[in-house]
Chain A
Amino acid sequence: MWMPYGLALALVAAPSIALAADAVAPASTAAPPLLAHPYSTLHLDNGFTAILVPFDSPGVVAYFTLVRAGSRDEVEPGKSGYAHLFEHLMFRGTANVSAHQYEERIQSLGADNNAFTTNDFTLYTPTVATAAVPELASLDADRFRNLSYARGAYKDETGAVLGEYNKVASNPDLPMAEALGTLAFTKHTYGHTPLGFERDVKAMPGAYDYSRAFFRRFYTPDDCTLFVVGDFDAAAVTALIHAQYDGWTGHRAATNVPVEPEQTAPRSRAITWKSPTSPRLLEGFRVPRTSQNLRDTAALAVAASLVLGDSSDLYQRLVVKEQKLIELTFSPDDAMSRDPGVLSFSAKLKPSTTFDEVVGAVDQAFAAVGRGETSPEKVDAVRRHLLNSRIIELQTPQAVANSLAYATALTGDPRSLQAYADALASLTPEDVARVARTYLIAAHRNVVTLTSAPANRGSKAVGR
């Protein structure tokens, strides 16, 4: 599995955020604790880290392993999509346990076993009954330490990855996400989605040796963090982790991810779609990386929600009252990324609506936020929305493991989960205005428009 196509360029889902070395000071006003119980951190000598989180999920444990390698780490031309390919290859067996044996043993545990890949990381997400944790730990440690796959199995898996590309290729969100990537990033690897470029995916079968090198680069103890969340005995799991991971060796290779130059002028690209469709817009503003400034990241989420959220004046005018848009879709977590990224939203337009009027309306709304024309009550409503979303979200051990993994992937520090909530709680309206006038401006804007190819326009199939 990879991340949902519409959101491929910007990280979605969980609450992630800052507190790396260069993070700002903790917020003065703290949010309520998001996790009911404190967690413990285990650092092994080889650089491997495990986070143990007690959670009220009787008899169930999420055992998630984060690899801080995603499509951003695919730096060689022609080699996009390999972080995602690895998410697949990790189910292909080891020197000790064949793929067939692995599958049978995982089944005997009744594991819900899957994984996904984003721009910035790959997360393996098995969940099992508490009693199955020792066996799962043994299998999981083995595949991270000793993955081994033959050329034939490798080629077969590249077929499944191409099948995954085909699965989403009927959706215009994919070419739009691809276009926004190449528009907003001329050098940085955020220019491609986690799926990779189609031509690179089709070339994967011939790159077995490269795949081995990719594994050695990033699947190392110092690049991985284990999250054990749920109902378990901490002492027993600690002993288990030492037994399974102490002997793992290796260091993550340095990745020279190209630095993207500052964007100084608006950019746009128009693409066409092979089927009849309503006109669509995908727009992204270049924003700073998440770990640079925690307060700014929270302020960006609030500023964007003020303009694009369901209760915003813009949404209510364009979607509800004037009905110029069929849909306006936005996720406040999209602003978060390990390197400077994009904060994006998408819209589906009525045929009589022009792209320019939507882009112009969004520009004007952000400018108003930047001038401080937002009432403190509205800022507070967004802040409460974002904090309540977290509370509702964190109901399962998987959701907690997922959120902590996101936080760690982006900032290197799981404490940023809570720190983000604290930053939200302490934001001032001026923080929100400042990020809007600094980042959410025309000079940082990238616009992708999609319309039907001329042959499809006016087709009766559209029914208008």
Chain B
Amino acid sequence: MKKLVSSLVALAASSMSACAPTSPPLHVPGPTTAHPPGYTIACPPTPAAPEVRTLSMRTPGTNVVAFRILFSAGSADDPAGKEGLTRLTADTMAQGGTTALTYTQLVEKLYPLAASIQVQIDRDETVFSAEVAVASLPAFYPLLEQVLLSPRLDADGFDRVRAQETSALTDDLRGGNDEELGKESLQAFLYEGHPYGHPTVGTERGLAAASLADLRAQRARVFCRDRMTIGLAGGYPEAFASTFAQDLAALPACAGERAPLPAPKKLEGLHVLIVDKPSADATAISVGAAYDLTRTSPDFPAVAFFTDYLGLHRQSSGRLFDELREKRGLNYGDYAYAEHFEQDGAGQFPVPNVARRQGMFSLWLRPVKSDNALFALRGALYEYDTLLRHGVTESELARYRTFLERYTALEELTATRRLGYALDDQTYALAHPYLETMHGAWRQLDSASLAAATGRHLQDANLGIVLVAKNGAALAKLLTDGAVTKAPAYASPKPHEVTAADEEIVRFPLHVAKENVRVVPVGEMFRE
């Protein structure tokens, strides 16, 4: 991740009270214009005082306050053999009480406020977040402060949270959610031997090996002041932001620099991982490649435009959705992503604060009937390849740009989302807010510049493919014997354009060398 830079305001704890807020917002993300968030307090730092990076977006008159305390720490910081330790540490901080309050006492105080302290963790970032009613702020804030500065981290909390995480891995990920299992397995496959190569929840071996002493050491190592940015939005009193920064400046400094990431392994050709799950009645499919593109690149808006056009998350506008679901009824949905994507709750938009130092392109096909799995895979690769080779016409580009500009303007309707996006802008050191950056770049795009950008970053020759399926060995044989894939037995007669495309799809080259196919029993996934 880019080092947090100048647009972040460093607050000197000792000079807080003397600082006055500066007005003018860097910008107003999203459609909101009535309440521009008053951005940050710019104080001249006192050299000797500890500094806390702070982002504040006050909107007087609103009745909720959103906190986001972001750490540049994630599962990539797990020590080898202790996979899952960072998440275990963060979750035990939030769900284990404080030195002054047992967890029972903490929950008793939080409960009437309806304010829980949430933890979200990805490979490179962890965010502690909370939303509270303005009237609850005086009661809530000391609890949040304690959780961050003096978490209890005792054996009871550690045992409980570790049992929960182990169950989340074995019962839920491996046993109860084939879609997520496919997506996590793809990342493990693409980033084998790399710090991104295990899920945030870790591995069975890593969770079993972790000790309470490890937990405390990990907290000191990664949830320390230099890795922290504190974010605040909503209707808090004006002086509160400086109090918050001053208090959190008490967090100890970090002992060392964060380790740089190695490069992910280079894939040559198509590599397939079949997660063999005898109970899988349908097949979940994920496809992707690690690449060096992130939001820091000037090409990112173009590539994201391309993947949104190919398969915008959970919208019916994408090509993959139209071809595989709408025209052929193969499954519930089919999508494409220019960066790691996690959905926010039950909505369609991404969660903020899962920024990564290294990028990933992916396709996601929701479960298809087992008989149609290879056809759906070929169909998705065919659509991707076709779009990559032929590009997007000027008229389609103009039409989709209009859609995307308006649609993405709906992404930032809550204080916590606006705050999260602004924090991401800092992380990626964007000169302008993300949506403004994207919209501005899209307006400059034409078919040629779009094709040039995708040509620099996207390809379909070297990909990782993951299928969560039953009868793994038989599926592996089908993939490698060069056979033509059968078209599905459709429920309704199809128009010529569909059957003609099917003829091409069943023959679409899928050259997978035998040595590039691995079949792994589901019980072995993330065991170690």
Contact = CB atoms under 8 A, between A and B. Distances in A.
Interface of A: 1, 4, 56-60, 91, 99, 103-104, 107-114, 127-129, 132, 151-160, 162-164, 166-167, 169-173, 205, 273-278, 309-311, 316, 319-321, 323, 326-327, 348, 350, 380-382, 384-389, 391-392, 395-398, 459-463
B341 interface: no
B523 A461 contact: yes
B524 to A, nearest CB: 8
A114 B348 CA distance: 9
Interface string B18-52: 00000000000001111100000000000000000
Interface string B221-248: 0000000000000000000000000000
A166 B175 contact: no
B273 interface: no
Given A277-B175, A459-B523, A60 B31 contact: yes
B133 A392 contact: yes
Contacts of B208: 463
Contacts of B317: 103, 107
Contacts of A327: 164, 167
A296 to B, nearest CB: 22
A326 B163 contact: yes
B486 to A, nearest CB: 16
Contact of A205 (B31, B403, B491): B491
Interface in B296-327: 314-317, 322, 325-327
B162 to A, nearest CB: 10
Contact of A461 (B107, B174, B280, B490): B174
A463 B114 contact: no
Contact of A385 (B114, B281, B491): B114
Given A60-B31, A107-B400, A274-B279, A163 B410 contact: no
A275 B175 contact: yes
A167 B114 contact: no
Contacts of A459: 523
B366 interface: yes
Contact of A389 (B110, B114, B314, B315): B114
A242 B114 CA distance: 41
Q: Which 10 A-B pairs have the closest CB atoms?
A: A110-B406, A461-B523, A159-B329, A152-B492, A274-B279, A388-B114, A155-B491, A163-B331, A311-B111, A156-B329
A160 B492 CA distance: 13
Contacts, number: 240
B160 to A, nearest CB: 5
B481 interface: no
B282 interface: yes
B403 to A, nearest CB: 4
A104 B322 CA distance: 12
B366 to A, nearest CB: 5
Given A129-B409, A166-B368, A205-B492, 10 more contacts: A108-B399, A113-B315, A127-B410, A129-B31, A152-B494, A160-B325, A163-B332, A170-B179, A388-B112, A395-B414
Given A323-B160, A392-B133, A166 B413 contact: no
A311 B399 contact: no
A277 to B, nearest CB: 5
Nearest to B348: A112
Task: Tell me if B's interface is mostly helix, strand, loop or mixed.
Answer: mixed
A162 B521 CA distance: 26
Contact of B179 (A58, A167, A460): A167
Contact of B281 (A60, A114, A169): A169
Contact of B160 (A160, A320, A348): A320
Given A160-B325, A311-B107, A110 B405 contact: yes
A319 B132 CA distance: 25
Contacts of A461: 170, 174, 521-524, 527
A141 to B, nearest CB: 20
Given A107-B399, A310-B107, A396 B414 contact: yes
Interface residues of B, number: 89
A316 B104 contact: yes
Contact of A381 (B111, B115, B204, B366): B111
A462 B368 contact: no
A316 B369 CA distance: 43
A171 to B, nearest CB: 5
A99 to B, nearest CB: 8
A170 B132 contact: no
Indicate the member of A108, A156, A170, A327 with the most B CB atoms within 10 Å.
Answer: A170
Given A156-B329, A163-B332, A316-B107, A277 B176 contact: yes
B136 A388 contact: yes
A148 B494 CA distance: 18
A276 B204 CA distance: 15
Given A156-B326, A461-B523, A348 B404 contact: no
A62 to B, nearest CB: 10
A427 B71 CA distance: 43
A160 to B, nearest CB: 5
A384 B112 contact: yes
Contact of B63 (A173, A316, A391): A391
24 contacts: A1-B346, A56-B35, A91-B316, A103-B322, A108-B402, A128-B406, A155-B329, A160-B332, A166-B281, A167-B331, A170-B279, A275-B175, A278-B167, A320-B156, A326-B164, A381-B111, A384-B112, A384-B114, A385-B112, A387-B114, A388-B115, A388-B132, A391-B63, A392-B133
A110 B402 contact: yes
Contact of A460 (B316, B327, B523): B523
A327 B95 CA distance: 13
Contacts of A348: 167, 171
A61 to B, nearest CB: 10
A275 B493 CA distance: 37
A320 B103 CA distance: 8
